[in-house]
Every structure is written in C-alpha cells, then in structure tokens.
Amino acid sequence: GVNGKKLKNKLHAYHELGRYTKLIHSIKVSGFGENLTNAKHGIFTGSWKKYLDYNIKSLTSNDKLIKLKVLNLDQSKEVKKIFENIKKQKYTFGLNHGDVSIWNTLVEKSGKVNLLDWGSAEVHIIPHLDFIHVVRCRVESGKPNDKEFSEFIKGYGMSQKEFKLLKPELLRLMLLISFDKLRWAIDRNPIKIKEFSKRAKRMLELNLN
C-alpha cells in the first residue's frame, strides 16, 4: 500500500479512520492511562482521579508554569475552576488509538485502509481523546481540511450537530492534557518544554478568550 498522506483524494481514507476509531472505542477495557497490566482482560492500572487531582493541585502560586510565563496567577485560578468542573463530569472511558492520523495509514490498491502505529494507545475518555488529536492537527496544520474532517466524523457515526455540542468539552480537555504534558516535560524531558509551552498557551487562549 501507499501512505495515506500521498493520496490525492483522502476523503475515503478519513471516512475509514472515523469508522475504525468507533470500532476501537468499542473494545472492552478497564482502568485508565497507558500501562496495560493484563492484556487478556484489558486492564490498565492508571487512575483518572489521580490524574485530575495532580493537575488541580499543581495550580498554585509557586507553579512552574507561572514561572515559565505560560499563565499568570489570575489565569491559574480560572484554569483550576475548569479542571474542577471536569472532575464533576461523568465520562465514558475506553481504548483510544492516540494517534489517528492520515500519515499512520497504508492504503491498498483495493482502497482498504490499514491503521498503523499503536504506540500511543491508552484508556481515556471516548470519543474525546482520539477526537482531540484530530482537532489539534486541524488547529496546528490545517489537516484534515473541512471536507476530510466531515468524512471522519461521518465515518464515526456522529453528526455535525453532535460534534458541535462535543467541541467545548474537547477544548477543556485539550487544556488539561496540554498542561499535564508540559509538567511531564519539565520533570522528564526538558527538550520538549518550549514546544509544549507553546501548545499550552494556545489551549489557554482558546479556553479563556
């Protein structure tokens, strides 16, 4: 097959990506996060509550993100309210591919689309996490374009109206995830701090403006 990004017309490929994403979300799993401890029963060991509590408790006057000028103290208080409201919501958790992208496909001559690269798979909110990745690609690169994205959500079985209702939740979760990844970079991968700081600032603008 050929890599999907080389296709002149990518509409079918994006439709199939949406359909595959829906199928992936139907796989029975339990827990949260990336660490699979029991493959037979689909058990992951992370905790959504701990993940949220860590990010809420990190929003203090001594926060490293304030020192990095990602946000100021007043904005930190607003972000804390957003995260606390997320904690009150009830979500459905399931398996997410984590990198649903046209460049992670091989398309056969028959038109069959093969989804590759499962290295970012994890249990998280569905359909939110995989949609977040696709939306972030649209924000940062303009790909998929409007028609391609429309095919993706159609393949998933979601209407434009349903996506419009989902979008505010996606933006709030994108903020949470961007802050968490930046904190991870500060602690474990400093070379990523600049890139992740830029993304966190962008997500902050989208949520507070």
Per-residue model confidence (pLDDT) at position 141: 84
| pLDDT higher than 90, residue 12 | yes
CA separation for the pair 152, 160 (Å, rounded): 11
Averaged over 98-104, what is the pLDDT? 94
Amino acid at 122: E
CA separation for the pair 190, 171 (Å, rounded): 25
Q: Tell me the two tokens of residue 198.
A: 């830029």
pLDDT tens digit sequence for 128-175: 999 999 998 888 888 999 999 999 999 999 999 999 999 999 999 999
Question: Is 52:118 a contact under the CB 8 Å cutoff?
Answer: no
Question: Is 153:18 a contact under the CB 8 Å cutoff?
Answer: yes
46, burial (CB in 10 Å: exposed 0-12, middle 13-18, buried 19+): middle
Per-residue model confidence (pLDDT) at position 142: 85
Averaged over 91-111, what is the pLDDT? 95
Work out the angle between the directed axes of helices 11-25 and 128-141 (0-180°, nearest 10).
150
**% of the chain at pLDDT higher than 90:** 94
Per-residue model confidence (pLDDT) at position 11: 97
Residue 38 phi/psi, 5° resolution? -140, 95
pLDDT tens digit sequence for 54-80: 999 999 999 999 999 999 999 999 999
Per-residue model confidence (pLDDT) at position 139: 80
**% of the chain at pLDDT higher than 70:** 100
Average predicted confidence (pLDDT) for the chain: 96
The answer to whether the predicted template modeling score (pTM) of the entire model surpasses 0.85 is yes
Work out the angle between the directed axes of helices 128-141 and 146-156 (0-180°, nearest 10).
170
DSSP string, the chain: -EEGGG-S--HHHHHHHHHHHHHHHTS--BS-BS-EEETTTTEE---HHHHHHHHHHT-STT-HHHHTTS--HHHHHHHHHHHHHHHHS---EEEE-S---GGGEEE-TT--EEE---TT-EEEETTHHHHHHHHHHHHHH--S-HHHHHHHHHHHT--HHHHHHHHHHHHHHHHHHHHHHHHHHHHH-GGGHHHHHHHHHHHHHHHH-
Question: Is 98:122 a contact under the CB 8 Å cutoff?
Answer: yes
CA separation for the pair 21, 28 (Å, rounded): 14
